[in-house]
Structure 1
Amino acid sequence: MSRRPKIYYSDSQKALMWKCWQRGESLHKIARLFDRHHSSVRRILAETGGIRPVSRCRAERVLTLAGHEEISRGLMAGQSIRAVASCLNRAPSTISREVRRYGGKNSYRAGRADQRAWDCARRSKASKLTRHRVLARLVAAKLQQQWAPEQIAGWLKRTYPGNEALRLGDLRHVRSMGFRCLVGCIFQEVSGFDSWRRASCHWSCGCPR
């Protein structure tokens, strides 16, 4: 039996996926809308811990597409970096770094620079739970006892008052860990096969085997 080609869901398809998930529909039912296996849908939902991600927006301090276009026009007109920076009310060093980062004076293009800046802002960052295995195991043990992320954060502060390493900042990572453990437990109950749970929990979030 030949394997299906990998699918890349569009933003509209992901929006429909999240809408169905928030209505309480099962992974299998959502997957049938796209004629795919439920694991394909589970992968999308698990990326943010089963919580619908917030729509992305630019920070006020970063350059917009209009700003990139102004830089491109200024360079094409032969203006200096300082003159371009003055038009944008930015520091010359900021514009200089921007130009060097995205092709230099001769190859800078506004559309390409704007897209690369947008993509780089979305780069993956290692969570604290990934970097600190002791913290991950403590959190995983409490999740198995069905503690809420807020309860775990408070317990860590009281139990380890002088240890800043054992602190939870962004609780989304804890919710994501809890979602992966929950999916693994459901898979184990349905299929009677627990290797998926052991592998995903142990290597992804530090749950004890």
Structure 2
Amino acid sequence: MRDYGISPAQQDEIWRRWREGESFSLMGRALGTSMHHVRRFLYQSGGVRQAPQLRSKRHLTGSEREEISGGIAAGEPARHLAKRLGRSASTVSREIARNGGRDHYRAAPADVAAYARGRRPKQAELAQQPTPRALMEAKWDLCWSPEQIAGRLRRQFPSDVPMQVSHEAIYLSLFDPRRRQAIDRNLTQKLRTARPMRRPKVARRPTGRGVIRGRVSISTRPAEVEDRTVPGHWEGDLVMGTRPSAVATLVERTSRYATIVALPDGIKAEQVAPHLTRSLLSIPSQLRRTLTWDRGREMAEHQTITAETGMPISLCKPRSPWQRGTNENTNRLLRQYLPKAADLRTFSQADLDAIAHELNHRPRKTHGYRTPAEVYADLLNSGDALTA
């Protein structure tokens, strides 16, 4: 890899700052180098630091090979050489045989050849197995994540070990330059973040929303909402595009089944309420119990929505998005389809229904790699969903 004029000590500092989530510009200023050089250095590595190649103590060293070469020149038998070095006779014999025999053995070329043979990693297993690789690429076209792909392969081929691969191996095949011969790096475009390299997880400081009259605190929700055993409790929020464009999202907590609601008129409370009410009324009555929403001003008409749908609406505490974590996670998945830079008013309800259909038919780890659509259908057909 190119070092772009960055010294080994600076490289160590870049990796330390990268793990802490520091920006390219801050790293460049701290190291006295261009931020573009820092970014290119990290980009070529895929954000994965390569461990230096180290020789095992079990392997012959350069000085030992010099001893072997001198012993051969003196006509010393391999067994005597091995005894003097504290090695087994077979180790010394194989070393001589694989490097030209007694007539052509030289210490320096033998040491270089040993280093080359020991280079890691070897060719990735995915590069040697076209069948699972083809299946993975097909699922990528459906925007499945590596973890979903790996989990589904284990479920689909439980006794076929060659068809199973960990999600970490898939990520490394995408990001690590030493493994990229296994999977086309352009497939990073299919990841939900579309990033060409790994990034450290950095917590974002949430911001509060406005105050809404007559709001119902989340603490008043039924206790059954927390354990997800009773279906029909939903979470919702807006997903913003270029302002003032947005869509509303609804997610059922037990099944993770999602619905996306077009908001062609705007994001004010009186513009959101009719479309959200219509979407909630389309939910079967047995799965229409409560709704938890973020503390956004678009929910100022929550009392009207409750009166028409019969669903009590609870609002989260300020700066507490984890109180509707299922919806937060779903909105993050939807960013793959609804980027922040897009005008979401250009998406028709049919477009949004197609996106929701694709998302609801992705397998989920929390369901044992069943899909939300499968779980939601079971809830509709089960007696539990009918229990008041």
Find the aligned partners of 1:183 and 1:14 in 2 and give their Cα distance.
Answer: 29
Separation of aligned partners in 2, 1:63 and 1:11: 27
Output the CA distance in 2 between the equivalents of 1:11 and 1:55.
12
In structure 2, C-alpha distance between the alignment counterparts of 1:83 and 1:17, rounded to whole Å: 50
Name the amino acid aligned to 2:144.
Answer: Q
* Contact 1:31–1:40 under 8 Å retained in 2: no
Larger mean CA deviation between 93-102 and 23-32 belongs to 23-32
Preserved contact between residue 31 and residue 41 of structure 1 (Cα < 8 Å): no
Q: Which residue of 2 aligns with 1:206?
A: none
Aligned partner of 2:15 in structure 1 is: 18
Partner Cα separation in structure 2 for residue 8 and residue 107 of structure 1: 41
Show the counterpart of 1:39. 40
| Contact kept in structure 1, 2:66 and 2:107, CA below 8 Å | yes
1:58 and 2:67 aligned: no
2:127 counterpart (130, 133, 145):
130
Higher helix share: 1
Contact 1:157 1:167 (8 Å CA) reproduced = yes
What's the counterpart of residue 162 of structure 1? 159
Alignment check: 8 A CA contact 1:139 1:174 kept: no
Specify the alignment match of 2:172 in structure 1.
176
* Distance change (3 Å), C-alpha of 1:24 and 1:130: same
Contact map agreement 2:53 2:119 (CA 8 A) in 1 = no
Residue pair 1:99, 1:108 contacting (<8 A) in 2 also:
yes
Report percent identity of matched pairs: 32
Describe the superposition over 1:102-129 as per-residue Cα deviations: whole angstroms up to 9, x where unpaired.
4554654445433432232115522122
**What secondary structure is seen at the aligned counterpart in 1 of 2:162?**
coil
Q: For 1:137-186, what per-residue CA distance to the aligned partner results, in whole angstroms no more than 9, with x for missing partners?
A: 444536943453xx6544322221232321126x5432224545159824
Cα deviation per residue 1:28-73 (whole Å; 9 max; x = unaligned)? Answer: 6657855454334311x22xxx333344333343213343233133
* Distance (Å, rounded) in 2 between the aligned partners of 1:10 and 1:109: 34
1:198 alignment partner in structure 2: none
116-125 or 159-168, which moves further after superposition?
Answer: 116-125
**Alpha carbons of structure 1 residues 80 and 147: separation in structure 2 relative to 1, 3 Å:** closer
TM-score (norm 1): 0.60
Q: Offset at 1:131?
A: 2.4
Q: Which residue of 1 aligns with 2:115?
A: 118
Amino acid at match of 2:61: T
Structure with the higher strand share, 1 or 2:
2
For the residues of structure 1 that align with 2:149 and 2:114, how far apart are their CA atoms? 36
In 1, Cα distance between the equivalents of 2:66 and 2:86? 15
SS state of the match for residue 165, structure 1?
Answer: helix
Q: Cα–Cα, structure 1 residues 111 and 12, in superposed 2: closer, same or farther, change >3 Å?
A: farther
Q: Tell me the distance in 1 between the aligned counterparts of 2:59 and 2:91.
A: 10
Inter-partner Cα distance in structure 1 for 2:90 and 2:110 = 17
Distance 2:66 2:19 in 1: 40
Contact 2:53 2:120 in 1 (8 A): no
What code does the residue aligned with 2:71 have?
Answer: G
Structure with the greater alpha carbon radius of gyration: 2
Q: In structure 2, what residue type is equivalent to 1:175?
A: Y
Structure 1 counterpart of 2:132, which letter?
A: L
Q: Please name the residue that 1:145 is paired with.
A: 144
2:146–2:171: 8 Å Cα contact kept in structure 1? Answer: no
Q: Aligned to 1:99, what secondary structure does the other structure show?
A: helix
Q: Which has the higher contact order (CA 8 A, sep 6+)?
A: 1
Structure 1 distance, partners of 2:74, 2:84, is: 13
Is residue 27–residue 42 contact of structure 1 (8 Å, CA) maintained in 2? Answer: no
Secondary structure at the counterpart of residue 79 of structure 1: coil
Partners of 2:42 and 2:192 in 1: CA distance = 12
Residue aligning to 1:81: 78
Deviations 1:49-99 (A, max 9, x none): x33334433334321334323313322433122321232344444323322
Structure 2: runs of 5 or more not aligned: 176-184, 197-338, 340-388
Structure 1, gaps ≥5 residues long: 190-209
- Between the two proteins, the alignment pairs up a number of residues equal to 177
